[in-house]
Structure formats: C-alpha cells, structure tokens
Structure 1
Amino acid sequence: MSVNEDQNQTITEKIKMAFSLSEDRASNEEIRERLLDGGKITGTNMCVMVCAMIIASVGLNMSSTAVIIGAMLISPIMGSILASAYGNVSNDYPLFKNHMAGLAIQIAISVAAASIYFFLSPVKAPTAELLARTSPTFYDVLIAFFGGLAGIIGQTRLDKTNTVIPGVAIATALMPPLCTCGYSIANGRWDMLLGAGYLFIINSYFIFLAASIILSVLKIPKMKELTPKEWKIHRFRMIRNTIIIALPSIAAVYYMLL
C-alpha cells in the first residue's frame, strides 16, 4: 500500500470515527430504561404537562416568545414519542400500543387544558404567535426530522448529562400547535384547527421516524425477528405514511414559491 493510500485510509477512518454512533453509546439496557422511563404516564408528568400547556397558552395569547420557550422546556410529551419509537423498532407491539395510547391521553388532556384557558381568556383575537402555528410547510418537516435525530442521539449517549433534549424541545415545538388547537376549539376557528393539528402531526411523526431510524442503526434488541415478508410490509407502511404526511407540506412550499 502506498503512502497516499495509507493516508487516505487513515483520514477515512477518522471521519467514520468522528460520526460513529457506537463510540460513546449507552448500553442497550440503559437506552431502554431511559426511553421507557421518559414515556411513562404518571400523575407528576400530567400535572407538569397541564402547567406547560397553560404557560404556553398564555405565551401565545400574549405573543410572548420567551414564555412559549419556557413552556416547551418543561413539557414531557416528547418522551412518549421516543418510547413509542423504541417499541416500534424493538418489535414490541404491546409496548408500542401502550405508549401510543399514553400519547393520545397526553394530547387529549393538553388540548382540553388549552381549550379551557382560551375559553376563559378575555383576549379572543388570534395573535401572530397563534397564526404562525397554522401554516406548516416542508421546512417544519425538516426541523422535526433533524430535531428528532438530535434528540434520540442525545438520549442514547453514555453521558447521562443530556443537554440536547431542551434544544430539541424548542426546535420541534410540540406544545404550541396543541395550544393553538385549544384556541381553535374554544373560539370556533376550525380553519386554524386544521393547520395547527397538521403541524403537530408533522412534528410528532418525524420525531418518531428519526428516532426509529437511529434506534435501528444502533441495532437495539428485538422482542422477535420479523420474517422477510413482515419486514417488507412494515417498511412499506413506514414509507407510505411518511409520503402521506409530508405531501401537504411540500405542496404548501410549492404554493409559497409561486
């Protein structure tokens, strides 16, 4: 092997090592424990979530970006999405269904809390912050996907001090769209409900997709191995769902550019 070839190989190895996800990853047991603990539905989490929803609703009602960011930092809702992704990749379907049901409960409680707040609030006119959550585009898909990648990579690291999740919570913004749904219900703005609901679906699904991809790359243990036919069906469903959810946002960008 020549000197140049040897140097090129060394550079390639260094680049691979720099972007390797296995170098400082936590153990499979620790990853499972972190993700499933984060997705637990407890009384404490529910109380914190309702508080976060009220804070975010006040921030949206008053057009206060700082207040909205504070609410996103304390919201526990992303934990259920990451736990669902773990159940999906590990082929543990009872676990997957359990955390998806937990996510549905969190969504229902969150929207109900926001609806009550906006029903009682004397400020009825939609603010700029509320309107900003009603027109999702493909850029929101990119933010959610890469935010989800960063979030799950942070959760699977050996270092328990995770400074990534707060940033992901701000970037992907799960709470404000749900608050906007509450505003829409309380004030009969069904046009805003559609846009805000779609934004929440984009954020949730692409965080879920990104987490599923990274957990697959890390080869977490599976409850059962899928047959080639089952894997083909599973992959087809993921691709189909991704296309269906992303298409309206792509169309929105196209119309923006016209």
Structure 2
Amino acid sequence: MNRILQFINLNHGEEDRKKVLENVTANTSFRGSNLWILACAIVVASIGLNVNSTAVIIGAMLISPLMGPIVGAGFGLGIFDFALLRKSLKNILIATLVSLAVSTIYFYLSPFKETQTELLARTAPNIYDILIAFFGGLVGVIAITRVEKGNPIPGVAIATALMPPLCTAGYGLAIGNFKFFFGAMYLYIINCVFICIATFIIIKYLKYRPVEQVNPKRQKQVRYAMTALILVLMVPSIYFAFKLYEEKKFNEKVNRYIESEFTSKGYTIIYKNTKYVSNPHTIEVAFLTKKFSHDEILELNEKLRRYKIDNSRLRIRQDTTDLKRDILNQIGSEKAAINEKDIAIANLKKQLQSSKIDNARILPEVKILFPAIQNISIAGHQFNEGTDSTKTVCVMLYKASKNLTEDEKEKLATWLKQKLQVKEMEIYGQLLAKPKTRRK
C-alpha cells in the first residue's frame, strides 16, 4: 500500500515552494506587456470566431495570459494570503473588462456579423464545461508546482478555453444579443471559478504553509463561501446538461420514427425539421409525392407514443409547391449549367477538328497545279486581337525547287481558301537546297 501511495505522491519532482509562489505572484499582474499581449490575443481569438477558424482560436488561447490571475486567486485562497487574493481578483476584473472592450469594438467594426458555429458553442454551458475547467485546472496547477513543467501548460490553456467565451460575450454586446452575452459570461465565470477551486484543492493537498495564521472562524467562512459559489454555478450547468441530453435522445427517437414509418416504406422526404424548444415539441416533414389523409395523419401522431416520443406533434406539409419549385429551379439551373458546358466542349471539339488539316491528302493536288512545290505544311492558328472574339488564320509553308511568283502565290491562296473553307490564308515559301556535285 505504501508503495502505491509513493507511486502517486505529488511531492516527488516538486519545485521549490518559494519560487512557485514568486512565479504565481508575478503572473497575476496585468500591466505593460501582459496587457498588450492580452489585447492582441483577444483580437486574434475574435477573428478566429468571426471566420469560424478553430486553428486561429487555438493560437489565441495559447498566447493568452488569462490563466495567471485565476491561478493566483486559487493560491491566495489555499494559503490564506488575502493580499494575493485581492490582487488576483482585481487583475481578473481588469483583464475581463479589457477583453470585453476589445472584442466588442472588433465585432462592432467587423463587416461580418454572421453567427458562426464556434460562437454558438460558447453560449450554452453545461456540466461538461465544469468538468473540463476543473480537471484542466488540476493539470495546470500540478504542472506549475513541478520542476519540469513539461507539455501540460499549453494543453490546459486550450482545454479550459478562457478567451473564446469573453470574445463571444463581446460579440453579444456588439450585436445587441444579451442572451449570447450572458451565456458566454456564464461559461467564462464557470472556467474561472473551477480553475480557482482546482488550484485551491492541490495547494491544500500539497500542504502549502499559510502566509498568516487565521482563526478557525475565518477558515469556515472561506469554505462556506466556496461551497455556496460551487452550488450556484453547478445547479444551472447541470440543468443545461440535462436539457442537452434530453434533446439528443429526442432527436434519436425522431430519426428512428421517420426511418420506420416513412423512409423504409419508400416515401421520399424533401423537408424535415424538429423544434425541441416548442411546447409541445414539433416534427415537420414534407414529401415529394405522397399525400396523407386527415385520418392517416392522426394515426401517425398516435404512433409517436409507441416510439416514446411524448409531448410532441407531427405536422405534415401537404402543400409543397414552394419546396418543389425551389428544388426544380435548382435542378434546372444545374442542368442549364451542364448544358452550357457540353455546348462549350462541343464547340471546342469542332474548332479543333476544323483546324486539323490533312497535309498528305492536299500535297498531290498542289503538285499538279504547281509542279515546283515538293513539300507543304498547313495549320490553322487562332489569336485574339484585343477583343472578345478570336480570329483564325491558316498558314501554309512550302518548299519548292524555285520561287513562286506573286501571281502564283495569290492563285494558290485563293485555291486553298476554297478548298479548306477559310477566310484568311498566308503563304510562305523556301527554296530546296541544291545537291552538291562531286568532282572526279
């Protein structure tokens, strides 16, 4: 048993406690460079939320110095250093106000105010966020008290996610959506409090010596205050987690019901929407061709109970004219685009085919008309003269035993235009080299 306890003992590899306290106290301050780093990190995180980029948000969390005063508050409570606690709380407040101001200004000035999924994810905290903050805080404090800090610190900064909720709260202020603001601030407070509580527990476990002797009454007051704060934060988050669980169960039952009653019977569903927040819950579906009578709809509503879908109403949209029109218009536009592509490809093929000239077939005819010509090469060339239209010119290169006169070239060009059905023809010639004679 002792060997097991020694194996999990946190005192092994512990940093000098005086040095740990000095580092924690130094990191609680928000002045000068720390304040500038915080403001820049807030802008980066806001941009990441604005463009829905997870990588950018993670980068902002890594450079954020927000963890410092929160851990400082936990240390202050753990060793009853109320001066450190007051300083940490003051700096948390400053950091929060600066972050809110910067993010609000950014989102107010940003032309893109669409609510992205990364923003929505920070507006409805639940019990899982408490667990993440608490266990992430435990890892962070354990790493701070070690000689070898290792890799946990960056991971804790990402997991506990202090920056995104503050930026989301600023977004809520910028667009005037106070539901977003309060939901994000609630998540931010949860993270702060439970990181602080995790720090308090580790400090007590490691038995850091209190800075000053406090009477038992004061210690009880601190414990009671922390217990009350934990309950105040946990009760709403447990409720939100329960509602999230219920909604997921509801959606699973609805999907199973639709699969059994409609999809498996060959009915094509063109629209489906579930509204869990309404009372009763609403399930809306529309079909491509199937029409249901009033009695059939009543029977389908009765079947909801068999799938344990309580307090719900099925609504079938029978008049799907608008939906069908939208679908057909989309199909029509896609088909038109495909047809345009086919026409363009056919025209290109036609142009390539027309520009392909059989020199071997034309050469014998040319030799009959102009015996001096021994070899030819004819090709069509397209070029743009600075306008949207292209011009095609045929060019003929020939080799002959003697030069053609201008009249002969003109006759040859006229004949080739008629033969090849082209409007432009250019002719260029070259004399064949005379063979060298050997002297005996």
State the secondary structure of the residue aligned to 1:22: coil
Shift in Å at residue 225 of structure 1?
2.3
Q: Is 2:28–2:87's contact at 8 Å kept on the other side of the alignment?
A: no
- Looking at structure 1, the residues matched to 82 and 163 of structure 2 have their Cα atoms a distance apart, in angstroms, of 27
Spell out, residue by residue over 1:176-232, the C-alpha distance to the aligned partner (whole angstroms, 9 max, x if none).
000001101111011101110000001010000000110111111212223222222
Partner of 2:64: 75
Q: Is residue 240 of structure 2 the alignment partner of residue 252 of structure 1? A: yes
Looking at structure 2, the residues matched to 48 and 249 of structure 1 have their Cα atoms a distance apart, in angstroms, of: 31
In 1, Cα distance between equivalents of 2:17 and 2:187: 32
Distance in 2 between the 1:154 and 1:128 partners? 32
Of the three residues 113, 116, 137, the one matched with 2:126 is 137
What is the alpha-carbon distance in structure 1 between the residues aligned to residue 178 and residue 81 of structure 2? 37
In 2, are the aligned partners of 1:114 and 1:179 still within 8 Å (CA)? yes
How many Å separate the matches in 2 of 1:22 and 1:145? 21
Contact 1:155 1:162 in 2 (8 A): no
Distance 2:20 2:150 in 1: 13
**Paired letter, 1:97:** R
Q: Which runs of 5+ in 2 are unaligned?
A: 247-440
Q: Which residue number in structure 2 is paired with residue 238 of structure 1? A: 226
Show CA shifts across 1:82-135 (max 9, x none). Answer: 111111112111221111101100110011000010001011111000000001
Task: Name the structure 2 match of 1:6.
Answer: none
Match in the other structure for 2:16:
27
TM-score (normalised: structure 1) = 0.93
User: 2-side partners of 1:67 and 1:113: how far apart?
Assistant: 17
- Which has the bigger relative contact order, CA under 8 A and spacing at least 6? 1
Match of 1:66 among 47, 55, 58: 55
Root-mean-square deviation (Å): 1.1
More strand by share: 2
Q: CA deviation at 1:154?
A: 0.1
Separation of aligned partners in 2, 1:34 and 1:120: 38
Letter in 1 for 2:215: T
Q: Are 1:121 and 2:110 matched, yes or no?
A: yes
Identical aligned pairs, as a percentage? 42
| Letter in structure 2 aligned against 1:89 | G
- Corresponding residue for 1:206? 194
Larger radius of gyration: 2
**1-structure distance, mates of 2:150, 2:188:** 24
* Corresponding pairs, count: 246
TM-superposed CA distance for 1:74, in Å, is: 0.2
Determine whether 1:154 maps to 2:105.
no
CA contact (8 A) 2:10 2:206 kept: yes
Q: Is the 8 A contact 1:28 1:221 kept in 2?
A: no
> 2:81 is matched with which residue?
92
Query: Matches of 1:64 and 1:14 in 2, distance apart?
Result: 47
Indicate the SS of the match to 2:114: coil
- For residue 165 of structure 1, the aligned residue among 146, 153, 162 is 153
